[in-house]
């Protein structure tokens, strides 16, 4: 397993990601879209999710492809970012055809970042415009860290952020992850600079520090955020041809990566969820071995993406938490 050239989810041909943010608001939107509609599924393990159109992604539902996925700040207000993305897709003639009508299919998920020090006294909901801007910016290259939906994200001890990672497998398939890290738990071990995800790091992508020589005592953790204030939302993607049922299994497996990289994870206070998407470009060579390998790769990529998002965060005026880069070596 080696990083693909960009080490981004867009190493999967056809996928594009766009970011938009308002520094004064300390919030933003990230959109994943593609050259053509793609298969998608979702799995939720957190206790406080915020979602839109996710029922459509169940294997028994009619719609088999989506046009974009939206990750947004803003809590419930941020779900309106999907409106802006729908407008951009409609202007491009995209959407599920019903007779002469076309309806863009845009599931989304949100994090809670309303108490992060940003100015939330808006006259009108800013998220539809941010969603449209993110869609219009979608490209193969995009920023991670304090960018897009990760602009105002936080963890239990450090500033969070937007992360991404990819891997190319021996069977020729590419797997990638995109994540907004806004967890109740920590991505780093105790008071150290070392990441919990260190065993899965490739090529020193988040500092190359490995695991610490000693681990903190196994104390009972106390929640530092209140109910609904946390959530890590992610997308794992592949060019392997998977249907919605196969993608749902991939999303379930990818949650292992969240548990590897954030301690604790999947709490009642988090809305942790994972979307899984496939462009369908590469048929499975082995219907048993390939899904097995894909699940492990998706979990590993997600763990790496989480660490990269926290590692890449940058300071901004009014921050309530320090960045990883400010920790003493």
Q: Supply the pLDDT for residue 319.
A: 93
Rounded to whole angstroms, the Cα distance separating 295 from 276 reads 11
Q: Supply the pLDDT for residue 254.
A: 98
Q: Supply the pLDDT for residue 328.
A: 78
Q: Supply the pLDDT for residue 324.
A: 97
Q: Supply the pLDDT for residue 265.
A: 87
**Burial track 218-256 (b if 16+ CB lie within 10 A, e otherwise):** eeeeebebeebbbbbbbbbbbbbbbebebbbbbbbbbbb
What tokens does 307 get?
A: 């660490």
Phi, psi of 60 (to 5 degrees): -90, 5
Q: Supply the pLDDT for residue 226.
A: 56
Task: Per residue of the chain (329 residues), give pLDDT as tens.
Answer: 888 999 999 999 999 999 999 999 999 999 999 999 999 999 999 888 899 999 999 999 988 899 999 999 999 999 999 999 999 999 999 999 889 999 999 999 999 999 999 999 999 999 999 999 999 999 999 999 999 999 999 998 999 999 999 999 999 999 999 999 999 899 999 889 999 999 999 999 999 999 988 877 666 666 666 555 678 999 999 999 999 999 999 999 999 999 999 998 888 878 899 999 999 999 998 988 999 999 999 999 999 999 999 999 999 999 999 999 999 76
Rounded to whole angstroms, the Cα distance separating 99 from 50 reads 31
Rounded to whole angstroms, the Cα distance separating 238 from 262 reads 23
Phi, psi of 141 (to 5 degrees): -105, 135
Q: What angle, 0 to 180 degrees and rounded to 10, lies between the N-to-C axes of helices 81-91 and 127-136?
A: 40
In the chain, DSSP finds a helix count (H) and a strand count (E) of 4, 11
| Contact criterion met (CB below 8 Å) for 25 and 119 | yes
């Amino acid at each position: 397993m080696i990083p693909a050239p960009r080490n981004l989810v867009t190493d999967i041909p056809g996928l594009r990601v766009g970011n938009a943010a308002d520094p004064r608001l300390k919030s933003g939107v990230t959109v994943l879209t593609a050259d053509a509609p793609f298969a998608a599924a979702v799995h939720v393990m957190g206790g406080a999710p915020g979602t839109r159109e996710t029922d459509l992604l169940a294997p028994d539902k009619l719609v088999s492809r989506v046009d974009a996925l939206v990750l947004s700040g803003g809590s419930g207000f941020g779900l309106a970012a999907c409106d802006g993305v729908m407008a951009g897709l409609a202007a491009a003639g995209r959407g599920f055809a019903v007779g002469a009508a076309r309806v863009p299919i845009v599931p989304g998920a949100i994090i809670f970042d309303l108490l992060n020090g940003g100015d939330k006294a808006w006259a009108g909901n800013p998220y539809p415009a941010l969603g449209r801007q993110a869609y219009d910016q979608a490209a193969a290259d995009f920023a991670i860290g304090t960018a897009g939906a990760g602009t105002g994200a936080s963890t239990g001890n450090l500033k969070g952020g937007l992360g991404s990672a990819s891997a190319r497998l021996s069977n020729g398939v590419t797997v990638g992850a995109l994540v907004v890290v806004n967890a109740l738990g920590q991505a780093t071990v105790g008071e150290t600079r070392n990441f919990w995800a260190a065993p899965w790091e490739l090529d020193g992508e988040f500092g190359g520090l490995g695991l610490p020589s000693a681990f903190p005592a196994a104390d009972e953790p106390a929640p530092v955020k209140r109910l609904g204030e946390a959530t890590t939302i992610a997308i794992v993607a592949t060019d392997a041809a998977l249907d919605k049922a196969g993608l749902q299994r991939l999303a379930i497996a990818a949650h292992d990566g969240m548990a590897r990289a954030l301690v604790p994870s999947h709490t009642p206070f988090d809305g942790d969820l994972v979307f899984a998407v496939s462009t369908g470009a590469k048929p499975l060579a082995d219907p048993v071995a390939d899904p097995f390998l894909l699940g492990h790769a998706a979990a590993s990529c997600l763990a790496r993406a989480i660490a990269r998002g926290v590692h890449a965060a940058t300071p901004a005026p009014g921050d309530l938490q320090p960045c990883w880069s400010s920790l003493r070596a």
